[in-house]
Amino acid sequence: MIWTYVSLIVAAIAIAVAAYFYKWVEKLPVAEGKIAGIGQLIRQGAFTFLKVEYRILAIFVSVVTVIIFVIFPSPIWEGKVGPNIIAALSYILGALFSGIAGYVGISIATIANVRSASAAKSGLAPAYMAGFRGGAVMGMAVVSTALAGTALLHLLTGSADIVMAFSFGASSLALFAKAGGGIFTKTADISADLAGKVELGIPEDDPRNPAVIADNVGDNVGDVAGMGADLFDSQVAALAAALVIAAPLGQIQVIFCFSALGLLASIIGVLVARVSDTGDPGKALNSGTLLTCGVFAVLTLVATLLSGFEVRIWGAAIIGLVVGVIIGFTSDYFTGDGKKPVYKVAEACQNGPAFTILTGFSYGLVSIMPSIIGIGLAALGAYKILEPLGGNFPMFGISISAIGMLSIIGMIISNDAYGPIVDNARGLAEMGDLGDDVLDITDKLDAAGNTAKAITKGFAIGAAGLTVIALLGAFQEVVKGITGDVIEFSMMDPLVFFGALVGAAIPAVFSAMLMIGVNRNSQKMLEEIHTQFDTIEGLKEGKEGVAPDYDKCIDIATKGAIKELIPAGLVSILLTLIVGFVGGVLAVGGFLIGNIVTGLFLALLMSNAGGLWDNAKKYIEEGNFGGKGSDAHKAAVIGDTVGDPFKDTAGPSINTQITVVSLVASIAASLFVVFSIF
C-alpha cells in the first residue's frame, strides 16, 4: 500500500505548492486606476455563473445519487445496501472535489488576471510569472484533489468499483462545467465581437460594449473552470478504468506509483518555470512540459526497478507519454502560426468567406489522421508490450498508457490555465487604459497562451482517447464481474454493430445541440446589446460616467448556457440507457465503440479547424494578405466566428460526453444484463 500513501503525501505537497502560489500571486500589486474595479466585475460575474451552475448541478447530482444508491454496485433489491451507500457517497464526493477544484481555479484566475496586467508595467517576466503561477494553482488543485480522492477512496474501501462512482461524479460536473462554460464563453465572445468590432467598429475589449465583461467572464468559466473540470474528469476516469482492470491482476500499486510521481514531476516543473524579459514565453511553456516529461520518465524507471514492478508496464506508460507529446505537437502543426495550414487558410480568405470555410474545414479533416493513428498506435503498442504477461495484462497496458499520457497533467493544466489568465490580462490592460507598452507585452503572453492551448488540446484529446478505450476494457471487466463471461464485442454481431451505429450518431447530435444553443443565446445577447445602445444615452459616444449594464449580458449567458446544455447531456445519457435496455451489454459495447470513434473524429476536426480559423485571422491581422479591415480580414472573421463554438464549445465537450456515457454504461451494466429486450 506504500504508493497509495505516497500519492496522498505528494497530493498534500501539491496542495501546499498551490497555496503558496495563491498567496504569492495575491500579494502582487494592482495597478492604479479603473483596472481593479473592472477586475472585480469579472470576478463577480464568474462567481455568479458558478453559483447558478452549481445550484442546478446540486439538483442533478441529488437525483443521480438516489439512482446510484438504488442500482450500483448491485441493485438494492438484491439485499446488499452497504456498498450502495458508499458508492452514492463517492459519487457526491467526485462532484464535490471537482467543484472545489473549479472554484479554486476561478478564484485564482480572477485575481491573477489583474496582477498579470499590472505586472506587465514592469516587464514581460513578472507578468508571465503572475499568469503562470496563477495557472499552476489550478493545475495543482485539480491533480491533487483527483489523486487524493481516488487514493483515499481506494484506501478506505479497497474497491475499484467505488472509484467508478467517484469518477462518474467528476464526469457529471465536467459535463456541466465544460459544455455550460463553453456555451457561456462563446455566446459572449461572438456577441461582443459582432456588436463591437463588426457593427460599431469599436476595438476588442472596449468598455462601452455591454458584452465585454461577459466575454472576459467567459474566458474564466469556459477555459479555466470548464477545462479544469474536463481534465479532472479525464484523470479520474483513467485512474478508475486502470483500477478496475488492475484489481484482478494485483497491479494497483503501480498505478498510484506512476500517478504520484507524475504529480511530483509536475510540481518540479512548475516550480522551476521561468522566463527572462527578452525571452519567449511560448518556449518557456513548452520547455517546462518537456522537462516534466523527462523527470517523470526517470523517476518512474527508478521506482519500477526499486519496487520490482514489471519494466514492461513502465514501457506502456512511456508509450502513452511519448504519443501524447507527439499528438500535441502535431496539433500545433495544424493550427500553429507560421505553419502551412494556417497560411493556406489565410490565403483562401482573399477569395471570400466560402473558401475560408472550405479550406479550414478541409485541413481540419486532414488533421484528424495523425492524431487518431497516434492514439491507435499507442493502444496497439501498449497492448503488445504487455502481451507476454498474459491474462488481461494487455488491456491493462492500454489503461496504463493512458495514465502515462496523463501523468504530466499537472503541468499541462498549469500551461492551459495560463492562457485565459493572460487573455483576461490583455482585456484588462485595454479596458483599464494601461497603455500600448503593456498591451504589447500582454499580446505576446496571449499568443504564447494560444500555442500552449493547441498543444494541450491535442494532449487532452489523445489522453481522452486512450482513457475511453480503457473504460471500454473496464466495462468488459464489469460485465464479467456480473455474468462471469468475457464479452468480445465482435463487430459481426448485429447487436454490437447496431449499437455502434447509434453510438456514432451521439457526438453529432450532442455537439449540434450545443452549437445551436450558442447561436440562439448569441441572438438574445445581440438584441440586448442593441437595446442598450439605443436606450442608454451617451453610451455609444463614450460619454464620461456612462456605463452599460454588464450584468444583463452575464445573466443572459448564464441562463442560456444552463438551459441549452441540459437537453444535450440528457440525450446522451438517455440514449445510452435505451440502447442498453433494448440491446443489452453487447449493444452498449458497440455503442461505446461507435461513440469513441466518431467522438474522437469530431473532437479533433472541430478543435483543429477552429484553431486554424482563429490563427488565420490573427495572421491576417498581422498585416498579411491585406491586413485588418481588408476583405480577406472580413472573410477571416467569419471563419473565426464559425470556429469559436467549434473549438471552445462543441469540440472539447465531446471528451466529457464520451466519458459520461462510458461510465453510465458501466454503472448501469447490472441492469442491462437483467432487463434488456434482446
DSSP code per residue over 109-135 = HHHHHHHHHHHGGG-HHHHHHHHHHHH
Query: What's 625's DSSP letter?
Result: G
Which is nearest to 418 in space by CA: 387, 380, 382, 444? Answer: 444
Q: Which is nearer to its own copies, 118 or 598 (CB)?
A: 598
Q: Which is nearer to its own copies, 359 or 442 (CB)?
A: 359
Q: Which is nearer to its own copies, 69 or 383 (CB)?
A: 383
The answer to whether the CB of 471 falls within 8 A of the CB of 592 is yes
Q: Which is nearer to its own copies, 431 or 460 (CB)?
A: 460
Minimum distance from residue 491 beta carbon to its own copies (Å): 4
Minimum distance from residue 482 beta carbon to its own copies (Å): 17
- Which letter, b or e, does each residue of 649-677 get, where b requires 16 or more Cβ atoms within 10 Å of its Cβ? bbbbbbbbbbbbbbbbbbbbbbbbbeebe
Phi, psi (deg, nearest 5) at residue 188: -70, -45
C-alpha–C-alpha distance, residues 153 and 162, integer Å = 7
Q: Which is nearer to its own copies, 414 or 522 (CB)?
A: 522
Minimum distance from residue 657 beta carbon to its own copies (Å): 13
Minimum distance from residue 609 beta carbon to its own copies (Å): 11
Alpha-carbon distances, residue 457 vs 414, 454, 606 (angstroms): 13, 5, 11
The answer to whether the CB of 429 falls within 8 A of the CB of 439 is yes
Minimum distance from residue 502 beta carbon to its own copies (Å): 6
Q: Which is nearer to its own copies, 140 or 603 (CB)?
A: 603
Minimum distance from residue 388 beta carbon to its own copies (Å): 14
Residues 6+ away with beta carbon under 8 Å from 475? 588, 589, 592, 662, 665, 666, 669
Which is nearest to 654 in space by CA: 468, 400, 395, 478? Answer: 468
The answer to whether the CB of 367 falls within 8 A of the CB of 462 is no
Minimum distance from residue 572 beta carbon to its own copies (Å): 12
Q: Which is nearer to its own copies, 281 or 499 (CB)?
A: 499
Minimum distance from residue 494 beta carbon to its own copies (Å): 4
C-alpha–C-alpha distance, residues 267 and 11, integer Å = 10
Q: Which is nearer to its own copies, 357 or 565 (CB)?
A: 357
Q: Which is nearer to its own copies, 109 or 650 (CB)?
A: 650
Residues 6+ away with beta carbon under 8 Å from 513? 564, 567, 568, 571
C-alpha–C-alpha distance, residues 30 and 115, integer Å = 6
Q: Which three cell numbers stand for residue 600?
A: 474522437
Report the residue count for the chain: 678
Q: Which is nearer to its own copies, 428 or 602 (CB)?
A: 602
Q: What is the CA radius of gyration of the chain?
A: 24
Q: Which is nearer to its own copies, 268 or 469 (CB)?
A: 469
Which is nearest to 139 in space by CA: 287, 282, 292, 279? Answer: 292
Q: Which is nearer to its own copies, 240 or 638 (CB)?
A: 638
The answer to whether the CB of 162 falls within 8 A of the CB of 90 is yes
Alpha-carbon distances, residue 434 vs 28, 32, 428 (angstroms): 17, 9, 8
Minimum distance from residue 500 beta carbon to its own copies (Å): 6
Q: Which is nearer to its own copies, 192 or 642 (CB)?
A: 642
Minimum distance from residue 268 beta carbon to its own copies (Å): 34
- Which letter, b or e, does each residue of 52-85 get, where b requires 16 or more Cβ atoms within 10 Å of its Cβ? bbbeebeebbeebbeebbebbbbeeeeeeeebbe
C-alpha–C-alpha distance, residues 566 and 514, integer Å = 10
Minimum distance from residue 106 beta carbon to its own copies (Å): 28
Minimum distance from residue 114 beta carbon to its own copies (Å): 32
C-alpha–C-alpha distance, residues 597 and 499, integer Å = 13
The answer to whether the CB of 141 falls within 8 A of the CB of 104 is yes
Minimum distance from residue 593 beta carbon to its own copies (Å): 5
